[in-house]
């Protein structure tokens, strides 16, 4: 309750990098609350109905700007519905909430979407999975642990590698038994289109990649694989914790008497 005796509406900030974030905005807008929504692009604004209790922006904020925004807008709770692979966003906003002592809820994507990929702990586990899978493999996971993949039956014929164009690295791959025509020595970053061209030309049905974030071109690799129907094995993605869509709604209703 404010100084005038009027009950203050709760103020929420939704980081809406997924369709679930937009759906959450629409549902919460029906309650007596004010909602700030941050989108990854201007394009996303077209998918959210304009209402008096919704303020939408697509400005990208760093950690310090997030802290300032939380304080300036008197945010009561932040709902992080950013994409699972936008880890820098999640790191920054969760830390900003900790610093400002603001409630933070992480919205999980539905299980069906999390299962688009096969997640493994390390390259050895990736090789173990590949032993049970047919088809050609495109290894875009670096050269440091490439030894793990020589345990795959018929690895020299099945595997294509993309590594840095450094003579020592190329020689290492050759010494391990990988075929010269199957070794692509190139320096990234790579566009979605270039990733698609490499997957197509190699005839690969499986992509193995590390979760390297935006700087490592992870999104472009994933987009290329999904468009071509290529199975993706992701090395080293941390287990995501958070709340389901319904749990977020229920918690906000209870905590803020909506």
The CATH number of 11-109+239-255 is 3.40.50.720
By DSSP bridging, strand 183-185 and strand 159-163 are parallel
Residue 164 sits at φ, ψ, to 5 deg, of -65, 145
Within a 13 Å sphere around the CA of 158, how many CA atoms are in the beta-carbon half?
A: 19
Assess contact for 139 and 161: CB atoms under 8 A: yes
Domains 11-109+239-255 and 118-235 share a fold: yes
Calpha distance 204→187 (Å, rounded): 20
Report the interhelical angle of 245-255 vs 19-28 (nearest 10°): 30
Residue 195 CA, chain-centre distance (Å), reads: 18
Q: How far is CA 189 from CA 18, 42, 177, 194, 195, in A?
A: 24, 24, 27, 10, 10
Work out the percent of the chain whose per-residue pLDDT is above 70. Answer: 89
**Which is the CATH superfamily of the domain at 118-235?**
HUPs (3.40.50.620)
How confident is residue 125, by pLDDT bands cut at 50, 70 and 90?
very high
Q: pLDDT per residue over 175-215, tens digit each?
A: 999 999 999 999 888 999 999 999 999 999 999 998 776 66
Residue 57 sits at φ, ψ, to 5 deg, of -145, 160
Calpha distance 173→163 (Å, rounded): 9
Maximum CA extent, the chain: 77
Residue 46 CA, chain-centre distance (Å), reads: 22
pTM given for the model: 0.57
Which comes out higher in pLDDT, residue 44 or 114?
44
How confident is residue 112, by pLDDT bands cut at 50, 70 and 90?
very low
Q: Domain locations in the chain?
A: 11-109+239-255, 118-235
């Amino acid at each position: 309750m404010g100084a005038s005796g009027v009950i203050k509406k709760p103020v929420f900030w939704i980081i809406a990098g997924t369709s679930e974030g937009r759906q959450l905005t629409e549902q919460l807008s029906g309650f007596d609350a004010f909602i700030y929504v941050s989108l990854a692009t201007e394009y996303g604004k077209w998918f959210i109905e304009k209402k008096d209790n919704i303020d939408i922006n697509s400005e990208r904020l760093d950690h310090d700007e997030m802290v300032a925004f939380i304080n300036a807008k008197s945010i009561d709770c932040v709902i992080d519905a950013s994409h699972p692979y936008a880890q820098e966003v999640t790191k920054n906003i969760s830390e900003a909430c900790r610093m400002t002592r603001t409630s933070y809820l992480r919205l999980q994507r539905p299980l069906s979407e999390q299962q688009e990929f096969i997640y493994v702990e390390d390259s050895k586990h990736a090789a173990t999975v590949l032993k049970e899978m047919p088809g050609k493999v495109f290894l875009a996971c670096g050269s440091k642990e490439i030894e793990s993949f020589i345990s795959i039956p018929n690895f020299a014929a099945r595997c294509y590698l993309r590594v840095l164009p450094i003579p020592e690295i190329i020689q290492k791959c050759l010494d391990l038994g990988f075929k010269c025509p199957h070794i692509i020595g190139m320096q990234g970053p790579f566009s979605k289109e270039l990733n698609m061209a490499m997957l197509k030309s190699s005839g690969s049905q499986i992509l193995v990649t590390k979760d390297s974030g935006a700087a490592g071109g992870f999104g472009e690799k994933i987009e290329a694989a999904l468009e071509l129907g290529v199975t993706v094995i992701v090395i080293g993605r941390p287990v995501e914790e958070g709340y389901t869509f319904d749990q977020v709604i229920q918690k906000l209703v209870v905590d803020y008497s909506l």
